[in-house]
Homo-oligomer: A and B are copies of this chain.
Amino acid sequence: MHRISVFLMLYSFAAFALAPPADEPLRGYTAEHSAAEVQWEQKFRAIPEPNRIREDMRRMSARPHHVGSPYDKDNAEWLLAQLKSYGLDAKIEQFEALFPTPKSRKLELLGSAPFTAKLEEPTLAVDPTSGQKSEQLPTYNAYSRDGDVTGPLVYVNYGAPSDYEQLAAMGVSVKGAIVIARYGETWRGIKPKVAAQHGAVGCIIYSDPKDDGYANGDPYPDGPMRPPDGVQRGSVMDMPIYPGDPQTPGVGAKPGVKLIPLDQVQTITKIPVLPISYADAKPFLLALGGPTVPENWRGDLPITYKTGPSKAMARLAVSFNWDRKPLYDVVATIPGSTFPDQWVIRGNHHDAWVNGAEDPLSGTSPELEEARALGELLKQGWKPQRTILYCFWDGEEPMLLGSTEWAEYHADELRQHAVAYFNSDGNTRGFFHASGSHSLENFVNSVAKDIQDPETKMSIWKRARLASLLQASPAMRAEEQKRADSRIGALGSGSDFTVFIDHLGIPTVDLAFGGEDEESGQYHSIYDDFYFYTHFQDTTFVYERALAQTAGTMVIRMADADVLPYQFTDEADTVHNYVTEVKKLADDMRAEIKDRNADIAAGAYQAAADPKKVSVPPPVDLVPPYFDFAPLDQASDDLTAAAAEYERAFATDGANGETAVNAELMKTQEALTDPQGLPNRPWYENMIYAPGFYTGYGVKTLPAVREAIEQKQWTIVDAQIARTAAAIEREVQVLKAATKILSGS
């Protein structure tokens, strides 16, 4: 479901020192175990075959397989059979969740030049699955409320909060209007949420050719980009409140579970929403009057983009079947030989919006190939020390339904047993990208050094790190001289890792390859299918194999270690950077607000205003007070010290297989959760990472503190600093206990 960008990838992973991988035992392994492990891993990586992955994708993408569809269930049963055929102990765990599907959809431009939107993606002759009309979900945004609204249109750019500030400065209001927002920048679910907060009555979201259409390359089927009638489906559930079944927050939705009544659900939109193509959008955009938009609001249709309002009214009418649908999570278990109560979990979803070759099958198929390879290893005598779970989630697209309900249902076990969760989703050609818990940063680096990049034949680690140099700032270059590990990004949301890291505090990594092929052109459309993937994405499936090799090596190496290969100096360094960021954020906002207030007082806005245009100065803002960052500074320093202490003890005793320390290590990330959760969204318990309340998939680190500042909730900042610091101090205590065990004192 999620998208990665080259920029993010290069920024977050990679850069920096090109030290050769040390020829010493794997972290957490005795010298003897390490030598054996290297053998098993090499055997493992030789097994996955591009052509098998290709055939798995072909099979699973042969028909539409969204939640509740016949082929969704069929795929689950097929996956189960495959896993069993590999000799694995597998089962389907069934849950259920609210999943609305369209009953009626209507979008019209009224007035003197009426137009009715087509709302239909045409069949393409060259694309064999594009004509499976009877099984395709229509174009819609899931968890839009029902509604039939009429109003003038207003263009709101990407529909982020700052876009409404810009509109206000131009004197344009969306009260009573239907907003038309373009896809991109901010996650789609933010668009109707913010629109409703500003008084809009409806929300249209369209794909501008600038963002994923002809501006970026030839449109499908000549090239990979979105064609004129292509539409991005997608969920607009208010996921920053909580993901998963809207009627059972925090509870695994087995049939018969108690449900919140529909009219009390917080995560359904407040206004009706509908996604459209740019062919459908053009007549609506042409109807807009008002001022010409600022330069960074312009799309690439051959028109003058204006804010509106339109003279002509628009009408948006949608209604849905508010049904609960079954979810089929497929789970294979390989019991651990030494530490069966320590679980290594691997997951990728199998449901799609339509045929879903790229999203998600380019991740699902490699995962299945990993499972096959593990089955082979088992037959060859391999015995993982820890228990391994291979999960194929259902219902990710509507909003992480299958993974969330499963993890909520198994929450107590997971808190006790999970040592890591490795997630993937869509995958294609290019550079290695990883994000996740920073206690696994060193682990991710160690695995990435052992995987060969199919194109350059250097390691995927080296390729990403070298390539990032070309975009590195001087500060990043300076860091490269001294930092052995490449940085990994932090996780927001957008795929099945969310419940694991954000709700349960389980060490998590999300990984993918990408950045060479345009990935977003058919995102969530009927054209994201086998023809598309095999013509415009990883056409030789070598990066599909690389994903299987990378994720599988992570699973095996985590499962076989004597001492869990967590490492905390990278984490402490990262947390220290976050603390620096939120302090700077407060200082910057204070300076900006002071300057703006001074400009208002000086009459700068009057001076800059063009009397032929409406121009509204911003309101005078309260200057932020100074905050007590001392607890956070202290906690960050304490974590730095504790991480270094642990590392010293580990260097001495870690390689001796002091497995008694594992029980403490397993508590380090959970320590960072707070059962009270984030302000106004208690489901999110992780005090270090969360999806942003106004960014959706985009991460906010130290979220309680950062968002309180960003949202100008000055009175709660100090308390959130204290809570966040306390969480870090809890980890410090756990680390000290672990160190004590290691050093035997």
A595 contacts the other chain (CB 8 A): yes
Among the 9-residue stretches A211-219, A346-354, A732-740, the one with 4 or more Cβ atoms under 8 Å from chain B is A211-219
Chain B residues with Cβ under 8 A from A609's Cβ?
456
A708 contacts the other chain (CB 8 A): no
B300 and A607 contacting across the interface, CB-CB below 8 Å: no
Which residue of the partner chain, among B209, B219, B305, B599, contacts A469 with CB atoms under 8 Å? B599
Q: Give the distance in Å from the alpha carbon of A305 to the alpha carbon of B214 in the complex.
A: 9
| Chain A, range 232-263, C-beta contacts under 8 Å to B | none
Q: Give the distance in Å from the alpha carbon of A649 to the alpha carbon of B463 in the complex.
A: 66
Binary flags per residue of A270-303, CB closer than 8 Å to B gives 1, else 0: 0000000000000000000000100000101111
A304 and B595 contacting across the interface, CB-CB below 8 Å: no
Which residue of the partner chain, among B219, B298, B302, B607, contacts A466 with CB atoms under 8 Å? B607
Chain B residues with Cβ under 8 A from A611's Cβ?
455
A604 and B215 contacting across the interface, CB-CB below 8 Å: no
B304 and A603 contacting across the interface, CB-CB below 8 Å: no
A292 and B217 contacting across the interface, CB-CB below 8 Å: yes
| Chain A, range 197-227, C-beta contacts under 8 Å to B | 209, 214-219, 223, 225
Q: Quick one: closest B residue to A608, CB to CB?
A: B467
Which residue of the partner chain, among B467, B516, B607, B608, contacts A607 with CB atoms under 8 Å? B467
Which residue of the partner chain, among B214, B292, B429, B470, contacts A304 with CB atoms under 8 Å? B214
How far in angstroms is the closest Cβ of chain B from A488? 18
Chain B residues with Cβ under 8 A from A223's Cβ?
304
Which residue of the partner chain, among B219, B305, B467, B612, contacts A604 with CB atoms under 8 Å? B467
A466 and B214 contacting across the interface, CB-CB below 8 Å: no
B217 and A603 contacting across the interface, CB-CB below 8 Å: no
Q: Give the distance in Å from the alpha carbon of A516 to the alpha carbon of B607 in the complex.
A: 12
Q: Quick one: closest B residue to A222, CB to CB?
A: B304
Chain B residues with Cβ under 8 A from A456's Cβ?
606-607, 609
Chain B residues with Cβ under 8 A from A612's Cβ?
429, 516
A667 contacts the other chain (CB 8 A): no
How far in angstroms is the closest Cβ of chain B from A616? 13
Chain B residues with Cβ under 8 A from A610's Cβ?
429-430, 455, 516
A59 contacts the other chain (CB 8 A): no
Binary flags per residue of A532-575, CB closer than 8 Å to B gives 1, else 0: 00000000000000000000000000000000000000000000
A462 contacts the other chain (CB 8 A): yes
Binary flags per residue of A437-480, CB closer than 8 Å to B gives 1, else 0: 00000000000000000011010001111110110001001000
A603 and B215 contacting across the interface, CB-CB below 8 Å: no
A602 contacts the other chain (CB 8 A): yes
Binary flags per residue of A598-639, CB closer than 8 Å to B gives 1, else 0: 010011111111111000000000000000000000000000
How far in angstroms is the closest Cβ of chain B from A695? 22
Q: List 29 A-B contacts (CB under 8 A).
A: A214-B302, A214-B303, A217-B292, A218-B292, A218-B304, A219-B304, A223-B304, A298-B300, A301-B302, A302-B302, A429-B610, A430-B610, A455-B610, A456-B607, A456-B609, A458-B603, A458-B607, A462-B607, A466-B602, A466-B604, A466-B607, A466-B608, A467-B607, A467-B608, A469-B602, A470-B599, A474-B591, A477-B595, A516-B612
